[in-house]
């Protein structure tokens, strides 16, 4: 009887430890995120699910073209792509991105631009430079995205984390670049 009871107690301890670890991981390290809408087409489809690395930006800074999740308002988180970093100027002219006056390629848009008639990213000029501790974000579906063109630069402390892994649908499982 003693060994059976001891086995039950050990099983409960293992179960409680597993739940505690899951809560810690979800709260501090990683979170799952489901895409809502079409603002990141073709990179991210409505209903796809991603793992967001919540701890990465505690030690590193966002990089150009990182896909991030951030708090857009008190009720919603958005997924977008970092386009410009603190201290940079940016503009779009004739569908070309210019950072600090230099053209920058956006290869992740090539497929979408080929299928689109007209200018994919409308001319845009950000007045001044991106403030310290902020980033400028855009959706990959430029004609249909609520992003920094409307919201303004995003404070880095509003970033939930970097999108690292697509896990749903299973057929699209993979690390995000």
Per-residue model confidence as pLDDT tens digits over 30-84:
677 777 888 887 887 788 888 888 777 777 789 999 999 999 888 888 999 999 9
Residue 82 burial (CB < 10 Å; 0-12/13-18/19+)?
Answer: buried
Calpha distance 161→64 (Å, rounded): 14
- Per CATH, the homologous superfamily of domain 2-175 is Umud Fragment, subunit A (2.10.109.10)
Per-residue model confidence as pLDDT tens digits over 2-35:
566 676 777 777 767 667 666 655 555 567 777 7
Active site positions, annotated: 39, 80
The pTM of the full predicted model, rounded to 2 decimals, is 0.80
Calpha distance 100→82 (Å, rounded): 15
Sorted by where each begins, the domain ranges of the chain are 2-175
Calpha distance 148→11 (Å, rounded): 50
Torsion of CA 95, 125, 44, 112, to 10 degrees: -10
């Amino acid at each position: 009887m003693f060994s059976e009871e001891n086995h039950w107690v050990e099983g409960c301890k293992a179960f409680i430890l597993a739940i505690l670890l899951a809560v810690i991981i979800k709260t501090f390290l990683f979170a799952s995120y489901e895409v809502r809408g079409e603002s990141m087409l073709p990179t991210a489809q409505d209903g796809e699910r991603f793992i967001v690395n919540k701890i990465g930006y505690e030690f590193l800074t966002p990089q150009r073209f990182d896909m991030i999740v951030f708090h857009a308002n008190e009720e919603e988180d958005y997924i977008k792509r970092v386009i410009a970093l603190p201290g940079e100027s940016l503009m779009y002219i004739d569908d070309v991105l210019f950072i600090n006056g230099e053209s920058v390629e956006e290869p992740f848009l090539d497929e979408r631009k080929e299928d689109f008639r007209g200018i994919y990213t409308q001319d845009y000029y950000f007045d001044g430079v991106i403030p310290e501790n902020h980033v400028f974000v855009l959706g990959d579906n430029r004609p249909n995205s609520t992003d920094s063109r409307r919201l303004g630069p995003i404070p880095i402390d509003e970033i939930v984390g970097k999108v690292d892994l697509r896990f749903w649908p299973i057929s699209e499982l993979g690390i995000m670049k």
